[in-house]
Amino acid sequence: MSLEKSNFKLAKLLSVTLFVMIICMSVYELLKQIIYPDITIWQSHIVTISFSSVIGTAAAYFIYRSIEKLQLKTLREVRERKQAQELLANAYDDLEKRIEERTLELTKSNKRLREEIKVRHLTEAKLRRSEERFAKVFHNAPVAISIIDFEEGRISMVNDSFAHLMDCDDKDQVHGKTVHELDMWVDEQEWISMNYYLERNEDMPFAIETKVRTLLGERRTILLTAEKINVNGKASILAMLLDTTDKKKAGKLMKRAYLD
């Protein structure tokens, strides 16, 4: 309770008490004249003084008790306000502590996130460089190279040497087609044997000398090396084909010339 409010209540209490005392004394004088019309002046003064003393004492006691209650109420409100302020201060301190802890956690999280982003960028950069090197080696290799879907046997990527081996004017002539649609495998059983081997020996390459059929129907002898790889989450075959047809023919001619 504010000081102004307390003073207002005290003034109001005194005013009411004064008003009640005036009313009581007026009623007392009226009754005294009616009940004791022959009373002497000194007797009237004595009775008035006695009654005034009783009324004054009662009023003083009433005012004292009222002031005491008002003081107790004020003290209680002051104590409650102080407790509320202490609780508010504690809550504020607790909030400040939580904010500091949360800020520290966010700072650490942001630091970890920046480190993870940095590592990811470095990893992505290394991956891009690796892919660029692979693409450069893949497309410029003198050996025919192709990437074939393991399940369907569909060719997803070839280099120029592969297109040359297959007598293709354009790599699109073989890209997206299966080895079965191209009818490139002279002995289909060798294709089945290769898949069977790679399915059970993912870390070991498969190698064989075999024959393939070009788009023009010519049969060519090749040394095939194949291994199972993962391309964009899909099992694939990386196949490298070294054409030995001309070498074989030259060897046969030399042998025949020697025998002749």
3-class state of residue 132 by DSSP = helix
Q: Measure the CA–CA gap between 147 and 133, rounded to whole angstroms.
A: 16
C-alpha 106/C-alpha 96 separation (Å) is 15
Across all residues in the chain, what is the average pLDDT?
82
Mean pLDDT on 14-41 = 69
CA neighbor of 157 nearest in space, from 190, 180, 134: 134
Read off the pLDDT of residues 225-244 as tens digits, 9 standing for 90 and up.
999 998 888 899 999 999 99
Quick: pLDDT tens for 76-127: 888 888 888 888 888 888 888 889 888 988 888 888 999 999 999 888 888 8
Predicted TM-score (pTM) of this structure: 0.52
Which residues are 219's β-sheet partners?
A: 213
Decide which of 3.30.450.20, 3.30.420.10, 3.40.50.10170, 3.40.50.1100 is the CATH code for 142-259. 3.30.450.20
**φ and ψ at 187, to 5 degrees?**
-110, 100
Domain ranges of the chain: 3-90, 142-259
Interacting residues of 1 by C-beta distance below 8 A, sequence separation 6+: 73, 74, 77, 78
pLDDT in tens, 130-172: 778 877 888 888 899 999 999 899 999 999 999 999 998 888 8
Element (H, E) at 182: helix 179-182
